[in-house]
Structure 1
Amino acid sequence: MNAPTVPPSPPTRAIAELNERSREIFRQIVESYLATGEPVGSKNIARMLPMTLSSASVRNVMADLEQAGLIFAPHTSAGRLPTQYGLRFFVDALLEIGDVAADERDRIESQMRAAASRHTFETALAEASSMLSGISRGAGVVVTTKTNARLKHIEFVRLDPGRALVVLVSDDGSVENRLLDLPPGLPVSALVEASNYLNARIAGRTLPELRAELQQRRAEMERELDELTARLVDAGLATTVGAAEGRQLIVRGQANLLEDLRAAEDLERIRLLFADLETQTDVIDLLTRADEGEGVRIFIGSENRLFSLSGSSMIAAPFRDGQQRVVGAVGVIGPTRLNYARIVPMVDFTARVVSRLLEGGR
């Protein structure tokens, strides 16, 4: 069951004037929706409240909440659900977020460290996505740049007089090959010399770090290398850095989204969400917005174009490299009735573990 779209002009004054009783009733409606996905009526709300109120009094408050745009009636029954704007208000003003339990922290950190040490950093990111999927019963997502990997070896391999292959080996074992156009008249010895020059300076640096250092030491490089070899080094780094700055998306647990379907409209919503996930560029763009701020970002339903049809939510947090630059984000995508109180701290902690791995704290 999807809430209607966000009102174009939210009645913020009415919301600001909600008294404690109204807020508590609204909280019970939202928490019931997050737990069951079903509308809740005034009689059930009256039983849940920590105060004594008649069903009639609860109905009066619910009418005020509906007028304020926070709840709606999905059909003619007495039950109510939160609107997407109501969910945003709940998340921003009323959500009580706990902490990640010590045993869960240990499990997340140990599994990710093991994946990173046995395999590659990308494997650790896939592990993070899988764990978040299992915790949330939604889809775990990770977006990252390819600039994360620290280099172990670079080699220029001549293919023909006008082209060479730049082979990059990272310390996580991954290998990338990039084609490079060679300057006219470049001798074979220049390829060996350029490879040796770069390998002597890699020392676990990322491509952007290596490029920045060589730019600072430009005069030194020009003294040590002839003009054609220096041009080869510049061209090789430009090619590889440009390629490495692309974004890649890892998604795990889409099948979780098929569980707990209650109606044909739920199945249609999931079909639309799967279509959203297939459009990787849009998902990457939305996750990249999590890079823009500190901490966890929550995107609810039609607040963003990507989920305007499926009415889904995403919780995401950025992670950083050793220079404290944001280089990606981890998150969870699922229905709007995600368990925000549990998932928000999990996403935040997972992002911090990824950051520590990138900083070399293995």
Structure 2
Amino acid sequence: MRGGALAGARDARYLLRMSLLTEMDVRSRDLFRRLVETYLETGEPVGSRTLSRGPGVDVSPATIRNVMADLTELGILSAPHASAGRIPTERGLRLFIDGIMEIGEPSEAERRALEADAGAEGAADLLSRAAGALSGLTRTASLIVTSKSDRPLRHVEFVRLDPERALAVLVDDRGDVENRLIALPAGLPAASLERASNFLNAQVAGRTISQARREVLEQLDAQRGQLDDLSADLVRRGVAEVGPGSGGPQLIVRGQANLLEGAGADLERIQQLFEEIERKQGLIDLLEAAKDGEGVRVFIGSENRLFSLSGSAVVAAPYRDAERNIVGVVGVVGPTRLNYARVVPLVDYTAEIVTRLIR
């Protein structure tokens, strides 16, 4: 997998969690792994008798109960009901994900499905289809945070809206069109809009605004006679305001209906999750945090304030542009009872596909 490991496992808290593993003998770790895997599959508390019937388990239910009691004292299991069944706590899930879970690779069928569904012309369509494909395979809601486009430009044009505002119309090398609102210098005549557009087109055609920024500003200083002061002011504003990221990140959400499947008694929690998803800025902030790591990051329940009520989980990975700059994040959100061993590599592979296709 890209990054080699979960990026969320690279902090001081990881070392503290790993110290728990040293307190657990081989049998305890094995039973803990089996219990978590069973819980993630069924969503139900797991009892000692269930574990004793598992393949390769050669200890009695009584011994298993003792181990489960010890793990409960460690804070990695809890008993949600009066029954003897246990479920992993958020702390336990974090320990499982960072130190015990074995992560594989997407199957060939999954790879083909992601590549076929995501392979679309146009950046906006690509991201939307990638989100839909990931949501369909994971049966979760998928999320993509993307920065405003910084692809090589084919054409730039300023279109006046009123005396104080204009649209900067950007057409990139794939034909995608993006409009950004900018302020006009006071008293700008119509002819200055055309002169400013022509000047920018001569400098940035085939390059991104960020790549051509310095040269544009240098040319303005070197060729003072080519543009009047108001046109030059508009060019400077355009370069500053239509650069990458100036429009803020955008959020794409697909597959929310998947969260209702099998909700059962958790319907109230899923409804709460819907409300949390609607707080888009909070989701954007959370996913932006995934840019800090090389690989996949997992956020569990109350580890993030946004999901403190629904107790949900987010699995996210960054994707990059042709210069290997991180430009966005792809991920999924769902109940903490996700099949992390399967979801993590699917999110990682989707980020890899998006990275490859947006270059």
Contact residue 221 and residue 230 of structure 1 kept, 8 A: no
Show the counterpart of 1:270: 270
Aligned residue among 125, 128, 131 for 2:127: 125
Match of 2:255 in 1: 253
Work out whether residues 110 and 137 of structure 2, in 8 Å CA contact, stay in contact via their aligned partners in 1: no
Residue 103 (1) aligns with residue 109 (2): yes
Displacement of 1:143 in angstroms is: 0.7
Cα distance in 1 for residues equivalent to 2:154 and 2:242: 14
Q: Deviations over 1:222-249 (max 9, x none)?
A: 4644443322210122232387431111
Contact 1:302/1:308 (CA < 8 Å) preserved in 2? yes
Question: What is the count of residue pairs matched by the alignment?
Answer: 343
Shift of 1:88: 0.2
Secondary structure, in 3 states, of the residue corresponding to 2:170?
A: strand
What is the TM-score with the length of structure 2 in the denominator? 0.88
Question: What CA distance in whole angstroms lies between the structure 2 residues aligned with 1:21 and 1:221?
Answer: 76
SS at match of 1:201: helix
- CA distance in 2 between counterparts of 1:150 and 1:308 reads 41
CA distance in 2, matches of 1:233, 1:323: 26
The percent identity for this pair of structures is 50
Task: Return the letter of the residue paired with 1:70.
Answer: I
User: Which of the residues 181, 193, 202 maps onto 1:178?
Assistant: 181
SS of corresponding position for 1:330: strand
Q: Tell me which residue corresponds to 2:347.
A: 347
C-alpha change, 1:12 and 1:351, in structure 2 (3 Å) is closer
* Whole-angstrom distance in 2 between the partners of 1:357 and 1:216: 33
Matches within 5 A, 1:154-169: 154-159=156-161, 163-169=165-171
Deviation at 1:331, TM superposition (A): 0.2
Identify if the C-alpha distance between structure 1 residues 224 and 355 changes in structure 2 by more than 3 Å, giving closer, same or farther: farther
Aligned to 1:214: 216
Q: CA deviation at 1:355?
A: 1.2
Runs of 5+ in structure 2 lacking a partner? 1-15
Counterpart of 2:95 in structure 1 is 89
TM-score norm. by structure 1 comes to 0.88
Q: Gapped runs of 5+ residues in structure 1? A: 1-9
For 1:68 and 1:172, how far apart are their aligned partners in 2? 57
Q: Which amino acid aligns with 1:173?
A: D
Cα separation, 2, equivalents of 1:160 and 1:233: 18
CA contact (8 A) 2:220 2:232 kept: no
Partner secondary structure for residue 294 of structure 2 = coil
* Structure 1 CA distance for aligned equivalents of residues 168 and 206 of structure 2: 18
Q: In the alignment, what sits opposite 2:73?
A: 67
Structure 1 SS opposite 2:305: coil
